[in-house]
C-alpha cells in the first residue's frame, strides 16, 4: 500500500511542479522579463534542458517505490529477527517417549489477557488412548495443545509426560515426539511428497505410501500428471481446502511420533471423507496417544474418552454414550449440532 501511495503521488506531483515551472518561465519570456536578461538562444537551450530532465527525474522518483518495497520486506524480516529467542528447555532426552500425558491442576493465562484460558485443569491420558477435547470456542481446547507442544508455560500446576515434568525435556526433542495436525495448513511451494515428509532428509517410501493411503491423498494425487511429485504452489494454492488438510494430516502421521495431536484437522472435509480418514488414522495409531480437538462432534464419537471444556474448566468427561446419558453440556451441544445439520439439509424442518 505504501508503494502504491508513493507511485500515485510522487510522479504526478513532480510533473505538476515541473509544468508550473515551465509555464512560469514561458509567461516571463512572453512578458519580456527574461528577454532583457538572456538571449533567445540561451532561453531555448535552458527550456530544452528542463524538458530533457523530466525523464531522468521521473525515473529517479520511482526509486522511492522500490525503497518502500524493501522497507516492507525488511519489516517482515526484522519482525522475526527481533523475536525473543525461545528457551531450549531442559536436558532430558530419550530414544523415544511412551506417550503417557498428565495435567495436574494446570492454570494458564495468555499475556495481556483478562481471564485464564485454563483453570485448575487435571486429566490423564494413558499410552495408546484416544482422548477428545470438545467445547465452545475459547473454552481452552487449543491452549492444552499449545502447552503440550511447549509454546507456552503454565503459571500454575504441572504437565507430565511419562511421569516427568515437561520443562525437563529439551524442546526440540519434545516436539520431535509429537505429530501435530492443525486446522490451518502450512504448506510450501514444492511437491506433495516433500510437503508430507517435510524436515526429513531421506524419504521413507514405505511410510509415505502408508500415510498417503491413510489420509486419502491418493484420491486426488493419482489424477495429477506427476502424482506425488506434483508441485502444489505456495501455501498449496493449487489444492482445495480439504486437500490441504489431508496433507497436514499425512505430515503428522509420517513422523510416526508416539503422540498425535489433531486440532480441528478435518474441519474442511465432508462427512464421508472425514469418516474414511478416521479409519486410516485409527489403523496407523494403534499404539499412539491421540489427542483430538474438535468442534464437530461426529469427529470424536469413537474416542476412548471425551473431555468437555467450558470457560477453561473440564465440566464433564466420559464416552460418547455416557455423556449423552448425563444429559449435560455435551448432550446439549450434540443435539444442537444435530438440529443445525437437519435444518441445513431440510429448511422446512
pLDDT of residue 34: 63
Strands (E), the chain: 101-108, 118-125, 130-135, 156-161, 164-165, 178-181, 259-263, 289-293, 305-310, 313-318
Higher pLDDT pick, 253 / 65: 253
Q: Is the pLDDT of residue 347 over 70?
A: no
Share of the chain above pLDDT 70, in %: 86
Q: Which three cell numbers stand for residue 143?
A: 491452549
Q: Is the pLDDT of residue 348 over 60?
A: no
pLDDT of residue 234: 77
pLDDT of residue 221: 75
Distance set, CA 296 to CA 134, 266, 305, 332, 346 (Å): 8, 9, 16, 13, 19
Higher pLDDT pick, 167 / 53: 167
Q: How would residue 224 be classed by pLDDT, with cut points 50, 70 and 90?
A: confident
Quick count: other Cβ atoms within 10 Å of Cβ 144? 27
pLDDT of residue 272: 66
Q: Is the pLDDT of residue 45 over 60?
A: yes
Q: Is the pLDDT of residue 81 over 70?
A: yes
pLDDT of residue 173: 85
The whole-angstrom separation of Cα 47 and Cα 288 is: 82
Cell 474442511 -> residue: 268
Task: Classify residue 141 by burial, with Cβ atoms within 10 Å: 0-12, 13-18, 19+.
Answer: buried
Are 188 and 195 in contact, with CB atoms under 8 Å apart? yes
In the sheet that holds 101-108, the strands lie side by side as 118-125, 101-108, 156-161, 164-165
The whole-angstrom separation of Cα 225 and Cα 246 is: 19
Q: Is the pLDDT of residue 317 over 70?
A: yes
pLDDT of residue 183: 75
Buried b / exposed e over 286-299, threshold 16 CB at 10 Å, is eebbbbbbbbebbb
The whole-angstrom separation of Cα 330 and Cα 250 is: 30
Average pLDDT over residues 249-254: 81
Average pLDDT over residues 110-138: 84
Q: How many residues does the chain have?
A: 349
Distance set, CA 135 to CA 5, 141, 189, 297, 316 (Å): 45, 7, 35, 10, 10
pLDDT of residue 184: 76
pLDDT of residue 174: 85
Instruction: Give 202-215 pLDDT, tens digit per residue.
Output: 777 788 787 777 77
Are 183 and 137 in contact, with CB atoms under 8 Å apart? no
Q: Is the pLDDT of residue 280 over 80?
A: no
Angle formed by the axes of helices 2-30 and 40-81, to 10°? 170
pLDDT of residue 346: 57
The whole-angstrom separation of Cα 193 and Cα 114 is: 43
pTM beyond 0.75: the answer is no
Indicate the average pLDDT of the chain.
Answer: 78
Are 85 and 26 in contact, with CB atoms under 8 Å apart? no
DSSP letters along 179-205, please?
EEE-SS----SSBHHHHHTTT-SS--H
Q: Which three cell numbers stand for residue 82?
A: 527481533
Domains of the chain: 2-81 (no CATH), 101-345 (3.40.50.300)
Amino acid at each position: 500500500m505504501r508503494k502504491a501511495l508513493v507511485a500515485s503521488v510522487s510522479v504526478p506531483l513532480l510533473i505538476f511542479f515541473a509544468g508550473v515551472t515551465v509555464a512560469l518561465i514561458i509567461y516571463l519570456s512572453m512578458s519580456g522579463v527574461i528577454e532583457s536578461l538572456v538571449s533567445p538562444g540561451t532561453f531555448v537551450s535552458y527550456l530544452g534542458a528542463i524538458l530533457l530532465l523530466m525523464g531522468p527525474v521521473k525515473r529517479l522518483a520511482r526509486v522511492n517505490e522500490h525503497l518502500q518495497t524493501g522497507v516492507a520486506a525488511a519489516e517482515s524480516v526484522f519482525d522475526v529477527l527481533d523475536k525473543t529467542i525461545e528457551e531450549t528447555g531442559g536436558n532430558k532426552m530419550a530414544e523415544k517417549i511412551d506417550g503417557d500425558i498428565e495435567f495436574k491442576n494446570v492454570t494458564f493465562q495468555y499475556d495481556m489477557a483478562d481471564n485464564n484460558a485454563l483453570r485448575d485443569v487435571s486429566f490423564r491420558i494413558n499410552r495408546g488412548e484416544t482422548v477428545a477435547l470438545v467445547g465452545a470456542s475459547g473454552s481452552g481446547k487449543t491452549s492444552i495443545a499449545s502447552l503440550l507442544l511447549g509454546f507456552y508455560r503454565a503459571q500454575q500446576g504441572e504437565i507430565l509426560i511419562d511421569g516427568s515434568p515437561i520443562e525437563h525435556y529439551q524442546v526440540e526433542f519434545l516436539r520431535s515426539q509429537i505429530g501435530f495436525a492443525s486446522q490451518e495448513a502450512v504448506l510450501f511451494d514444492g511437491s506433495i511428497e516433500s510437503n508430507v515428509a517435510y524436515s526429513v532428509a531421506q524419504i521413507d517410501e514405505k511410510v509415505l505410501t502408508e500415510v498417503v493411503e491413510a489420509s486419502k491423498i491418493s484420491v486426488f494425487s493419482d489424477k495429477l500428471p506427476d502424482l506425488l511429485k506434483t508441485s502444489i504452489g505456495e501455501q498449496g494454492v493449487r489444492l482445495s481446502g480439504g486437500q490441504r488438510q489431508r496433507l497436514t494430516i499425512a505430515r503428522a502421521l509420517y513422523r510416526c511420533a508416539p503422540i498425535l495431536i489433531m486440532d480441528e484437522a478435518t474441519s474442511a472435509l465432508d462427512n464421508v471423507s472425514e469418516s474414511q480418514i478416521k479409519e486410516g488414522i485409527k489403523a496407523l495409531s494403534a499404539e499412539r496417544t491421540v489427542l483430538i480437538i474438535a468442534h464437530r462432534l461426529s469427529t470424536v464419537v469413537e474416542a476412548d474418552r471425551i473431555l468437555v471444556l467450558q470457560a477453561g474448566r473440564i465440566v464433564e468427561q466420559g464416552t460418547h454414550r455416557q455423556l449423552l446419558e448425563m444429559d449435560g453440556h455435551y448432550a446439549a451441544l450434540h443435539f444442537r449440532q444435530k438440529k443445525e445439520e437437519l435444518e441445513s439439509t431440510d429448511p422446512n424442518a
